Amino acid sequence: MIIKILGSAAGGGFPQWNCNGLHSANVRAGKPGYRARTQSSLAISANGSDWALLNASPDLRQQINDTPALHPSVDGGLRNSPIKAVVVTNADVDHITGLINLREGQKFSIYGSDRVLATLNANSIFNVCAPENVPRIAFALDRPTQLTGAGVDLGLTVEAFAVPGKIALFLEKGGEKENYGSRDGDTIGLKITDTATSKSFFYIPGCAEVDPPLAERIKGAELIFLDGTLFTDDEMVVQGLSHKTAQRMGHISISGPNGSIAALKPLSIARRIYVHINNSNPVLDENSEARRIVDSAGWEVGFDGMEVRL
Amino acid sequence: MIIKILGSAAGGGFPQWNCNGLHSANVRAGKPGYRARTQSSLAISANGSDWALLNASPDLRQQINDTPALHPSVDGGLRNSPIKAVVVTNADVDHITGLINLREGQKFSIYGSDRVLATLNANSIFNVCAPENVPRIAFALDRPTQLTGAGVDLGLTVEAFAVPGKIALFLEKGGEKENYGSRDGDTIGLKITDTATSKSFFYIPGCAEVDPPLAERIKGAELIFLDGTLFTDDEMVVQGLSHKTAQRMGHISISGPNGSIAALKPLSIARRIYVHINNSNPVLDENSEARRIVDSAGWEVGFDGMEVRL
């Protein structure tokens, strides 16, 4: 199985269009130790020819251009694409907007929870992926679903499971007691398994905490890509970028007693990679103390173009 | 007045993600005489500091990254942007999707016809540009509107006018007799005027024909950016890419007795630049006969990063 990080940044990307914070300003100025990042997406393939995307970011056109494996085959028809399926983990704009780039009558499949697909159905702009060419397939949680698209069996299964999280910001309703309108399945993690080799990995780009059921599920895994949005719970508040904590945004922080380094330490996961990294996160500076802490803890910081084989 | 072409390609961009046609394959392979192009958008400014976008393409994040004039000021606040307004000419995905990139609470204004704004209102995903920060302003046709945004007067007026065209593809209804559901104002052209200098230009990225009222309006203009989607009416049919002619898609062709070269020849327009160029258009090959014809006729083929001062 081949896994490519197409985009390793959280919503807004790195730099973010309107951000003059320390890290966005530094990467824009070309400061050493920084690299630009597009928004949150992975591409996966069992055979190297047929691919599924995990989330479709607003930067998808640029990500496809930058990834030769996702170009049309020069030996294929006038219109062809190796992208056969897209799996979306929530309805955040950084995870669904890229679908709008996948128009032009190409056949592929969209997989998501019924709650996320309902958001696509409620927004007519997603009809550029016309349902007669692009079926929208709701998967049940906690059960492996075989990925197929455009008549191709991808040789991969995806098992979606609910994780502690939050509804997409643009769908939030008032009333803090209501958890902003979130319900189970608004945010999901994925377990991807190569049918032939039985190798598997976890992809959880948004997650508010590693609670006991999640810890149990990922224990002993060979590989995980996890929500690395923020390093400390209050970093956006401290940097003056927002009044919201990581928890309020539905993201676990990397550091601290309840952070992901601590939570995954006892779980014997062989390879741990952060994705969905926000422009406020000090790990974006390769020379930072935060980065040293992450490195020392045996974690990796994902970057655009990173490839893992399993 | 400064005018920058952010994106010179039609919907899908160049290359298009799933296109293995001659030109997309050539540009992807790096063949000399070709350059990649992002999707349809201009940026305009009277003072060089405050900018308005004319259309917001799906490639907007990349376009902002590639255009230093659109970066936040390093002397400004933690969040700031020189982009104060966006004017949309229709509800095509290549003209509205970029709005989704302009989130994060930044104040600016969106201008469009009431029909186009109704499409934004009907798609909740555009609420990432929350109306309390980003007012949606419907302009009347045939009357200059002063552009303002985030409390700034841009020193520019925009006059929108209906042109022969078509409704956005994803909004089309069946029934050819109904013109696919189009009404006056679904596709508009813009006349932009610098208030201080009274210099003006026309921007018409989609237009099905130059009828007598349009010819009268643009006669004697100093500068026009015009729909250069297709070179010949049937080129997508001939190339096997679609069953649709330019006319069916609501686009005038460049060549032929009813094409834009012929239509604008008697109108004494000083500078004529094609934008919204489709991946099937042979003018994308700088060594083509089509390109020679366009050059000889005194037209220019717009490209990403092209700058015009007026």
Residue B166 has pLDDT above 80, yes or no: no
Please state, in angstroms and rounded to a whole number, the distance separating the CA atoms of residues B38 and B275. Answer: 11
What's residue B243's pLDDT? 79
Phi and psi dihedrals of A99, rounded to 5? -55, -30
ipTM: 0.93
Percent of chain B with pLDDT over 70: 94
What chain A holds in terms of domains, given with CATH numbers, is 2-169+181-309 (3.60.15.10)
Please give the residue that has the higher pLDDT: either B156 or B241. B156
Percent of chain B with pLDDT over 90: 82
pLDDT tens profile B107-150: 999 999 998 899 999 999 999 999 999 999 999 999 999 999 99
Q: Which band of pLDDT confidence, cut at 50, 70 and 90, is reported for residue B165?
A: confident
What lies within 8 Å, CB to CB, of A97 at 6+ separation is: A56, A57, A58, A60, B97, B100, B125
Of B65, B259, B199, B274, nearest in space to A59 by CA? B65
Mutate to test the interface with B, among A59, A64, A78, A238 (most CBs of B within 10 A): A78
A283: three-class secondary structure by DSSP = helix
Please give the residue that has the higher pLDDT: either A135 or B187. A135
What's residue A233's pLDDT? 81
Burial B14-51 (b: 16+ CB within 10 A, else e): bbbbbbbbbbbbbbbeeeeebebbbbbbbbbbbeeebb
CB contact residues (below 8 A), chain A span 217-276, against chain B = 239-241
**DSSP letter at A10?**
-
List chain A residues with pLDDT less than 70. 166-185
Burial class of B181 by CB neighbour count within 10 A (0 to 12, 13 to 18, 19+): middle
Q: Which band of pLDDT confidence, cut at 50, 70 and 90, is reported for residue B170?
A: low
Q: Which ranges in chain A belong to alpha helices (H)?
A: 22-28, 60-65, 93-96, 114-122, 212-218, 235-238, 260-264, 289-296
Residue B168 has pLDDT above 60, yes or no: no
CA-based end-to-end distance of chain A: 5
With a threshold of 0.90, does the pTM exceed it? yes
pLDDT tens profile A121-176: 999 999 999 999 999 999 999 999 999 999 999 999 999 999 988 655 566 655 54
Strands across the sheet containing B223-227: B144-149, B152-162, B188-194, B200-204, B223-227, B271-275, B299-301
Locate B22 and state its tokens. 């001659």
Size of interface A-B (CB pairs under 8 A): 147
The overall average pLDDT reported for chain A is 92
Residues from chain B that touch A173, judged by Cβ atoms under 8 A, are none
Cβ neighbours of B173 (radius 10 Å): 10
pLDDT tens profile A237-267: 888 877 887 777 788 999 999 999 999 999 9
pLDDT tens profile B54-110: 999 999 999 999 999 999 999 999 999 999 999 999 888 889 999 999 987 899 999
The overall average pLDDT reported for chain B is 92
Please state, in angstroms and rounded to a whole number, the distance separating the CA atoms of residues B98 and B102. Answer: 7
Q: For residue B73, what is the nearest residue in chain A, using CA coordinates?
A: A20
| Residues A128, B169: C-beta atoms closer than 8 Å | yes
What's residue A178's pLDDT? 46
What's residue B106's pLDDT? 95
Pick from A78, A93, A122: CB nearest B20: A78
What's residue B91's pLDDT? 86
Residues from chain A that touch B65, judged by Cβ atoms under 8 A, are 15, 36
Residue B239 has pLDDT above 90, yes or no: no
Cβ neighbours of B237 (radius 10 Å): 16
Locate A87 and state its tokens. 């799996």
Of A119, A40, A58, A53, nearest in space to A81 by CA? A53
CB contact residues (below 8 A), chain B span 6-25, against chain A = 11-13, 15-21, 24-25
Residue B178 has pLDDT above 50, yes or no: no
CB contact residues (below 8 A), chain B span 129-158, against chain A = none
